[in-house]
Amino acid sequence: MPAIRPFCMPKWGIEMTEGVIAEWKVTEGEAFRRGDLLCLIETAKITNEVEAELDAVLARILVPSGGDAHPVGTLLAVIAEAGTPAADIDAFIAGFRPAEASAAAKSTPAEASSAASPAPAPPRLLTNRAISPEALKLAEASALDLDPIVGSGRDGRITLQDVQQALRPASALVPAGTLPLAPETAAVFASPLARRIAASHGIDLGTVTGTGPRGRISKADVLRLVQPAPSASSATATFTPVANAPTVVPFDSIRKVVAQRLTRAKQEIPHFYLRTSARLDDLLALRKTANLVLGTKASINDYLVRACGVALAQHPDVNVQVRDTTLHRFVHADIAIAVASPNGLVTPIVRQADRQSVAQIATATRTLIDKATAGRLAYDDIEGGTFSISNLGMFGVEEFAAIINPPQGAILAVGAARRVAYERADGTAGFETRLDLTLSVDHRAIDGAAAAHFLKALVGLLEAPETLFR
């Protein structure tokens, strides 16, 4: 009867209890040679390559790749000689019992009478050296002399891999493919890919020092000898820079005003910053429906202008201007929106945003942006303002802090909406869309508590967007 062998889930380390077949490198029915890579097995910590220990055929795969984890000792596949009948493979699988189960099983009298005479037990090896039980079992079955073996385990303990390595023959090995290996490299402990690379470049693996487990030669070890060292000319080459003269562009009138105002603002205004975020999922859903029903194309920024207008009307302590030593409070919110025009940064104003609907604000902002792009903003379009919004979310900026636009008392910086994970009340995980908001505040005019109350009201409006239509 042809030789049939089981291929079971191996055990690497004391803590390993199960593993997953990540990928079969040999297909069912395919022949392989000793040293070929059979499969990749993932454990909780590593992914191991499993090499063939003899020339045979992968007769039957019982556990496909990419499935669930299986306990150590699970029958993964059956290895047999070429030409083994399928009936013999089926009979072997049907009668297979894991090593632990078979050891614990008890024979009945009938089974004992019908069973064949057991083969003589291998002679026991007497040694004082530290050795694993599996390694000792294999050494006894192979009548292996343990004295020459150098243990690679802790404190010199001989492992199963050490015994398997000692049993490797020193004969020449010719793996599948067109690249024969030199005789002196056949008994070297190296991966199949390392052998092929060495054969293709004429490298003697006997001269290569392996850096893998138990001195195994890997692909990287061989490639270090294949890659040429840098030449002396390239190592000493110098870089010669070319002329990098600047193009001088004087400030235009708008850029001069912006530069002067922002420089003065950063120097004279004592900024402080409050950061928060708002859940945006309800607003995104409502906006989609409202745009269809109302026939508008209101943007998220339009809803932000409306929400800021309502929140400022509720918290007039933030809806202010600072002029010299006086504080000007306003009943209605005139909100400036930062627009990057061809002539530079401009801040046209949506008047009385607290009194306008979202649809009216969408029309007003679209008109102001078109005028800014065309360079047709009038003085009345940019003069005044009690609050500003700077939105860089459309450029993928997640968070930033803006400089206050004097004489206003605060400015809101808006980042990009992004999906983030969160924990539900029942302990399960979910995803939601959040918008990062940073409020820059003039501490001369607005206290921290007043700014915090305003920001809390703003977040409440954004997270309950139906209130923006009242």
CA dist 320 to 283, 326, 333, 455, 457, Å? Answer: 28, 10, 9, 15, 17
- β strands within 352-428, DSSP E: 387-391, 410-423
Q: In angstroms, rounded to a whole number, what is the distance separating the alpha carbons of residues 79 and 57?
A: 6
Residue partners of 293: CB distance under 8 A and separation at least 6:
none
Q: What angle do CA 170, 176, 182 make, to 5 degrees?
A: 40
Q: Are strands 4-8 and 335-337 parallel, antiparallel or unpaired?
A: unpaired
Burial class (CB within 10 angstroms; exposed 0-12, middle 13-18, buried 19+) of 98: middle
Q: Is 271 a catalytic residue?
A: no
Cis (ω within 30 of 0) for the bond into 407? yes
Nearest one of 369, 350, 370 to 360, comparing CA atoms: 350
Alpha carbon distance, N-terminus to C-terminus of the chain = 87
The four Cα atoms 185, 190, 192, 194 give a dihedral, to 10 degrees, of: -90
Note whether 339 and 348 are within 8 A (CB): yes
DSSP string, 331-359: SS--EEE-EEETTEEE--EETTTTTS-HH
**Alpha carbon distance 59, 203 (integer Å):** 34
> Tokens representing 227?
């890659």
Of 448, 446, 449, 447, the C-alpha closest to 327 is 446
Q: Kindly name the residue from 271, 328, 443, 453 that is annotated as catalytic.
A: 443
Q: Please, are residues 41 and 32 in contact by the beta-carbon 8 Å criterion?
A: no
CA–CA gap between residue 175 and residue 173 (Å, rounded): 6
Which residues carry out catalysis?
Answer: 443
